[in-house]
Amino acid sequence: MAKGSIIYKTQEEIELIRASCLLVCKTLAEIASMLKPGIIDSDLDKRAEEFILDHHAKPGFKGYGGFPATLCMSINAEVVHGIPSNRILQDGDVISIDCGVYMNSFYGDAAYTFALGDVAEDTMNLLRVTKESLYLGIQQAYHGKRIGDISAAIQNHCQRKHKFGVVRELVGHGVGRNLHESPEVPNFGRSGRGPILKEGLVIAIEPMINLGTRRVKQSKDGWTIITRDNKPSAHYEHTIAVGKHKADILSDHQIIEQTIKNNKNLRKISINC
């Protein structure tokens, strides 16, 4: 995870990170166009790799720490780091897809959780609240605030207001020439605590929220993180640059959501913030 001192970016570097993040979202949109019951997750992973390479970039996750795939595809009770492995997606599944690319010496990182077909309403509410918490966290990401302000906004909305489980073992992180840089960005914490946010800081904010317990375990594959009570989990992620008065969101979920709108197999997640 994130280590070392915080590295601030120039505006030129931020634009390069933005380009990488936009390619991530275009990749996720391409995969969203293919999502339907009966499709095999490893076929989606293969297409994602082809799409990234066709755009003169490299998959950011494949080979990172030994991870064997282009996408992290986490289904239902899987929180993050699921490995595509010839699994057949089913009506009613929720699928968190996390993607990274490396292009022009900088990484991009974003994630989105998709609702496939007839998803249970309590799970749809989990997705909505998790997505809302992402933007509530982003609203705190401007010059002079602290990491804890982001963390508290997410925790307050998901845990205190909606009684969902906020995962503690996994956090957001800085993004730049390395996929994981300092500082860490937890989804829990206290306002006014942690490193001060300054212009030029680029971070990935990524709530990982469970329908039931916050407690998780690792699969025997050494990667996949699963909820201990086997209830669904949701995960949304944006990479942002801290601005003087507000965050600059470098990734673009609207690209993905336009594809969701056009895919009759997917349900749209509307938020209230």
In tens, the pLDDT along 200-231 reads: 999 999 999 999 999 999 999 999 999 999 99
Percent of the chain surpassing pLDDT 70: 99
Q: What b/e string do you get for 54-91 counting C-beta neighbours within 10 Å, with b at 16 or more?
A: eeebebbbbeeeebebbbbbbbbbbbbbbbbeebebee
Is pLDDT at 3 greater than 70 in this prediction?
no
Closest CA to 103 of 46, 177, 50: 177
For the domain made up of 11-267, the CATH class stated in words is alpha beta
Q: Which residues contact 195 (CB under 8 A, 6 or more apart)?
A: 6, 146, 147, 183
- Domain limits, the chain: 11-267
Q: Which residues 6+ apart lie within 8 Å of 69 measured at CB? A: 42, 45, 61, 62, 83, 84
4 has pLDDT over 80: no
Q: pLDDT tens, 229-261?
A: 999 999 999 999 999 999 999 999 999 999 999
Residue 162 reports pLDDT greater than 50: yes
Sheet containing strand 233-235, edge to edge, reads 165-166, 208-210, 233-235
- As beta bridge partners, residue 96 has 74, 113
Q: Could you read off the pLDDT of 112-137 as tens digits, one per residue?
A: 999 999 999 999 999 999 999 999 99
Amino acid type, 82? G
Q: Which whole-number Å values give the CA distances from 119 to 101, 127, 130, 232, in the listed order?
A: 30, 11, 16, 11
- For residue 259, the model assigns a pLDDT of 98
CA distance 204 to 173: 5
pLDDT tens, position by position, 48-68: 999 999 999 999 999 999 999
Give me the pLDDT at residue 56, please: 97
Residue pair 254/243 in contact (Cβ under 8 Å)? The answer is no
Check pLDDT > 60 for residue 196: yes
Is the pLDDT score of 264 beyond 60? Answer: yes
Please determine, for residue 273, whether its predicted confidence score (pLDDT) is greater than 80: no
* Sequential DSSP letters for 223-249: S-EEETT---EEE-BEEEE-BSSS-EE
Q: How confident is the model at residue 1 (pLDDT cuts 50, 70, 90)?
A: very low
Return the pLDDT at 70.
98
Instruction: Output the pTM of the full model.
Output: 0.97
